[in-house]
Amino acid sequence: MLTGIVIDARDVERMDRFWREATRGRTGGLRLRIAATAEPRPAHKNRLHLDLAGGPDWEAEVARLLALGATRAGIGQGGVPWDVLADPEGNEFCVLRPGHPGVLGDRGLVAICLDVSAEDRAAQTAFWQARADWQAVESYSWGVRLRRSPTSTVALVMGPPAAPKAGRSRLRLEVGPRDGAPEGERAGFPDGPAGEFLDPAGNEFHVTR
């Protein structure tokens, strides 16, 4: 089952503090794990990013995030009903405004967005439904939204456009044993080891014990 997100960082303490304060600790039961790396963030857009709920006072929430160390980011988004920011190490994330159809929570983490191309959509949907143990609750021409349950506040959203894969992903999904799985079965890999794997589109993800 989906248990969290791993974020590579050169300054682990700063990034851990930023994301704890940015989400107000409200992550829908998912763990945000900051992993140390010496590598600088690549110039290209990440394939995985997080969406936060801005709430009714979304302008004040954006200002709060900027004061925490976020910056405004431009990724060619145009006129959209959300604000695109970047964390202190340049990883993009979005602040969704009230009325966005994917927002079920008023604060904190509300979506994990994974780039998926049209040709990879069917394989990725099947793969992540099995590995995350979440179900597709909405499917549109632009992509699909998975949730642990229909009322879960956090969604896994998959759709285009897909950024080119260039190097190891800075943000990665983390999965652990499925609820009710027999002992020894880990995230759909019977008797499989923990470690780092690739999904059908070549994105790294972690399997924990």
Q: Closest Cα partner for 98 from 67, 55, 50, 134?
A: 55
**Looking at the predicted structure, is the pLDDT value of residue 138 above 60?**
yes
What domains sit in the chain, N to C, each tagged with a CATH number? 2-207 (3.10.180.10)
The predicted model scores a pTM of: 0.91
Q: In the predicted model, what is the mean pLDDT of residues 70-78?
A: 78
Maximal CA-CA distance, the chain:
49
pLDDT confidence of residue 187: 45
The b-or-e profile of 111-139 (16+ CB within 10 A means b, else e) is: bbbbbbeeebbeebbebbeebbbbeeeee
Q: What is the pLDDT of residues 46-57, one digit of tens each?
A: 999 999 999 999
Q: Sheet of 195-198: strands edge to edge?
A: 31-36, 2-9, 171-175, 204-207, 195-198
For residues 53 and 81, the answer to whether their CB atoms sit within 8 Å is: no
What is the three-class DSSP state of 197?
strand
For residues 77 and 113, the answer to whether their CB atoms sit within 8 Å is: no
Which of the four pLDDT bands, split at 50, 70 and 90, describes residue 79?
low
Most confident stretch, 39-48, 55-64, 97-106, 159-168: 55-64
